[in-house]
Amino acid sequence: MSLPVLTADQMRAWEAASWAVKVSVNAVVGVVGERLAARIRSLLPNGGRILLLAGKGHNGDDVRAAAARLKASDIDLVNVHDPITAIDRVRTGLSRSPALVVDGLFGIGLRGPLSAPWVELLELVNAAQYPVLAVDVPSGIDANTGEPQGVAIVARWTIAVGAPKIGLFLAPAAPFVGRVEVASGIGLTPQFDPIAGADASAKLTWTESPDFLGLYPTRPVAAHKGDFGHLVIIAGSLGYHGAAVLAARAAIRARPGLITVITSPETYLPVASQLTGVMVSPWNESTGFPDNATAVLVGPGLAANNVPHWLRDRIQEGWGASPLTWIADASALDWLREVKPNGSAQRVWTPHPGEAGRLLGISARDVQLDRIGASRRLAQGIWTLLKGHQTLVASPAGEVHINSSGNAGLAQGGTGDVLAGFVGGLLAQPALASKVGTALRYAVWDHGAAADRLELLPAPWSPDELIAQMGLASSAHPADPLNPR
């Protein structure tokens, strides 16, 4: 089951319900401390000095528990109850050039603007520019709104405790939270549901690899390629043939039974010459879909001025009424914003913020200021993948899933074509199309996890290398010291 994204009050209610049934506070703190210590060790494989800042609440207790599990000679633990009296000790700790600073000052307990002494202390930490791991929420950030309360710790990693907090994913918090990770399963009572009764249109969840256990059904020994669907990809135009190649290669990694690429006559030769195991044909006015087609991906590399009007009309007709699953990406999105699907077949589109803004009639900046709200507006009868940092998967019912994988290495041309092709390859398979939400979340997660594996390597990487990493079992993802299994 996916982890819910919670408000501060929902998290407090879960904790209170746990203490009420005699769950031990000390036991939970101990689990969190062990997880934090494991993550700290993983971040410093060659060792290094650690400055731990512990406040007076449970957030500070978690840090103190982690300190007890680290090598004493490597740490400086500063208990901060009063910033005025603690600032010299913090300054001394920073003067020892720590390899990592652990921020456990406030967590979700912050209420209202910070006083001047607290501002001075947090600014001191930021000015030192050492890597910071924040526990639960970077100190100074409101856990509900993401707003910095005068100033906030700038973290490279934020380890949310128990469940992620909503403020971490709102626009004001983006400069402060770094990479969000979650220490889940910490011992709070599973009998209490902190989002019980919440309408689907208000639900947020956090996607992690265990969500996909059992997604791929076992293939029968007597299966043949016809059992696993036929993806049609309409992609590629003069100057943009690479998008069609990347999308098709990524679709292969998802392992549908058959793939056909329909591309422009000008790009037929370069596309066909780079693909094996894929059928390729140039489009013409008599072009139709194979009788056994199960899904259509349209858009990668379709430059508007190179696509004939008859093909654009056919794409709009298919999006509106075809019984097949359709996935729209890139330029095709601009042709489909006025076309309302009128059937029951699945529709998926995959905009980046600029494309999402055009679909909604707002700026890309406005999309980024409210990514969750924008994704819900886009998902009116259409599954939406709003790409970007922490890509969102929004269902037509209004539930939004926040992706946990990926990094800035994906900010290069071609990676969106890879994602679109992988999505198409999954949804062409009838067994996976029947689990469309999980399949989409898996596509986004696997795409990001592949990039995370590549970032562990010393050399830069390309979209082709990204494809080679995709479709691997979740156990191939780097080990997770926060949530060992």
DSSP 165: B
Judge whether 396 and 381 are in contact, CB under 8 Å: yes
In sequence order, the 6+-apart residues with CB closer than 8 A to the CB of 23 are: 187, 188, 189
List alpha helices for 108-198, DSSP H.
Answer: 116-128, 174-177
pLDDT in tens, 46-104: 999 999 999 998 999 999 999 999 999 999 999 999 999 999 999 999 999 999 999 99
- Structural domains in the chain? 3-198 (3.40.50.10260), 225-476 (3.40.1190.20)
pLDDT in tens, 314-334: 999 999 999 999 999 999 999
Whole-number Å distance between alpha carbons of 160 and 8: 12
Q: Specify burial of residue 319 (Cβ count, 10 A radius: 0-12, 13-18, 19+).
A: buried
Element (H, E) at 206: strand 204-207
pLDDT in tens, 366-415: 999 999 999 999 999 999 999 999 999 999 999 999 999 999 999 999 99
In 3D, which of 160, 122, 120 has the Cα closest to residue 139?
122
Residue 116 Cα distances to 119, 121, 172, 352, angstroms:
5, 9, 21, 40
List alpha helices for 21-130, DSSP H.
Answer: 25-43, 58-67, 83-95, 116-128
Whole-number Å distance between alpha carbons of 484 and 480: 6
pLDDT in tens, 234-293: 999 999 999 999 999 999 999 999 999 999 999 999 999 999 999 999 999 988 888 899
Q: How many C-beta atoms surround the C-beta of residue 356 within 10 A? A: 27
Judge whether 300 and 279 are in contact, CB under 8 Å: no
Whole-number Å distance between alpha carbons of 86 and 322: 66
pLDDT band at 29 (very low <50, low <70, confident <90, very high): very high
In 3D, which of 160, 143, 197, 202 has the Cα closest to residue 62?
160
Q: Three-class SS string for 451-473?
A: HHHHHCCCCCCCHHHHHHHCCCC
Record the pTM: 0.93
Burial 39-70 (b: 16+ CB within 10 A, else e): bbbebbeeeebbbbbbbebbbbbbbbbbbeeb
Whole-number Å distance between alpha carbons of 345 and 428: 12
